Every structure is written in structure tokens, then in C-alpha cells.
Chain A
Amino acid sequence: NAGVTQTPKFRVLKTGQSMTLLCAQDMNHEYMYWYRQDPGMGLRLIHYSVGEGTTAKGEVPDGYNVSRLKKQNFLLGLESAAPSQTSVYFCASSYSQHTEAFFGQGTRLTVV
């Protein structure tokens, strides 16, 4: 039972490049989330999904897009990376919004 798995773990991008972060969960959870973590800012919600085929904006959605074509996968896309998107990204999933969230191991992204 892998839980929540994120790929890749590390990535360096040049400004303007694009990339996709993949999150996969094997717990049959309906809810999935993408957060970014910056020093002193805590965990800020980028986008989330309440089920297959659904997505919604969080606190800091600008510059990111997401898709949830399959229940177990939640993809986060950066179309044109900017240095301000340098951060650690965490994916999480939960059975509902009122139950424990399980986090992936994180992706450290640097945009130069």
C-alpha cells in the first residue's frame, strides 16, 4: 500500500518552461489537493478536487492548472514557470474534507 506518491521528487526548470507534477493515490479517496509550502507561509492550497472529473480553485491558483481524469490521479501543470513558483509542492488525498489528509513526499521545484 503506497498511499500517496508524487513524481518527480526534484526538478529544476528555466523560466518559461512547462512541466506536470503527478500525484497518485491508492486509497480510493474522493478528495485530492495540491499545496505549495514556502518558508513562513505554511501550506497554501493551489487547487483541489472533490471527485473524478472535478477541480476547484484554492487560495493561490494563478499560474497553475490541474486535471483529475482518473480518480486515483491528480495532475498539476505549470504552463510557463516563473521564479515565484519555486517552492515545495505537496499533494494530499482524503476520504472527505472532514477526515485525515494523507500527504505525498513532496516535490522540490526550483525555477531559475
Chain B
Amino acid sequence: GENVEQHPSTLSVQEGDSAVIKCTYSDSASNYFPWYKQELGKRPQLIIDIRSNVGEKKDQRIAVTLNKTAKHFSLHITETQPEDSAVYFCAATPSGGYQKVTFGTGTKLQVIP
């Protein structure tokens, strides 16, 4: 089955700096890669996703890049703000019917004002 590794497990940045979180996946058939943000005590919520036919996707201060050859994808947050502090999860889903989503172990991002 799919295996997703996520690094780093914790990340501290100064407000205004950029943050990068990286994930690798094992199944070359994976074609859907969502990122979820979980604030303390709350439920995970989707912030951005990318499909295998796209190399990069941006949404305001957030971007995701995908390298299918190397089987890794990354989340980039620019101009970080204190409200970006949360745990971020990457995930991967293989193509085909009835496949399940596999999550990374999460990255706790702390933005220091």
C-alpha cells in the first residue's frame, strides 16, 4: 500500500518568513495530493490540493508543488502570519477505484510574532 513520509515534524519560523513542508510517497500510481490544516482542538480542513497532471498550484500565500518523477510534493507558505500556526498534514491517494487516502504524520508549524 501507499506510504507517505512528512518532514519536518516541527517547524518554527518568524512572522513574515516562508515555511516549507515536504512529503514523499511510495506508490507511483498516486494521483491526488491534498493538504489539510488542523488548528489546536479543531478538525482538519483542506487548504489546497493538487492532481498529478499539474506541477504547481497556488492560492494566495499558499502553494503546492509536485514532482512525480521523484515522488515528492511540498507545501509552501509565504509571508507567514500567527494564524498560520497549526498542524499540517499531507496525503496521497492512488488512482483506481476504491482507493483510500494515506496521511503523513503531520508538521506542527509555529509562527513567532
Residues of B with C-beta under 8 A to A106? 43
CB-based contact A104/B43 at 8 Å = yes
Q: How far is the CB of A2 from chain B (nearest CB, A)?
A: 13
How many B residues are at the interface, by size bracket? 20 to 34
Within 8 A of B (CB), among A84-112: 90, 97-101, 103-106
Residues of B with C-beta under 8 A to A50? 98
Within 8 A of A (CB), among B20-58: 31-32, 34, 36, 42-46, 49, 51
Most chain A CB atoms below 10 A, which of B34, B43, B44, B95:
B43
How many A residues are at the interface, by size bracket? 20 to 34
Residues of B with C-beta under 8 A to A43? 44, 89, 103, 106
Identify 14 residue pairs between A and B in the complex whose beta-carbon atoms are under 8 Å apart, listed by A's number: A33-B100, A42-B104, A42-B105, A43-B44, A45-B101, A58-B100, A97-B32, A97-B99, A98-B51, A99-B32, A100-B34, A100-B46, A103-B43, A104-B43
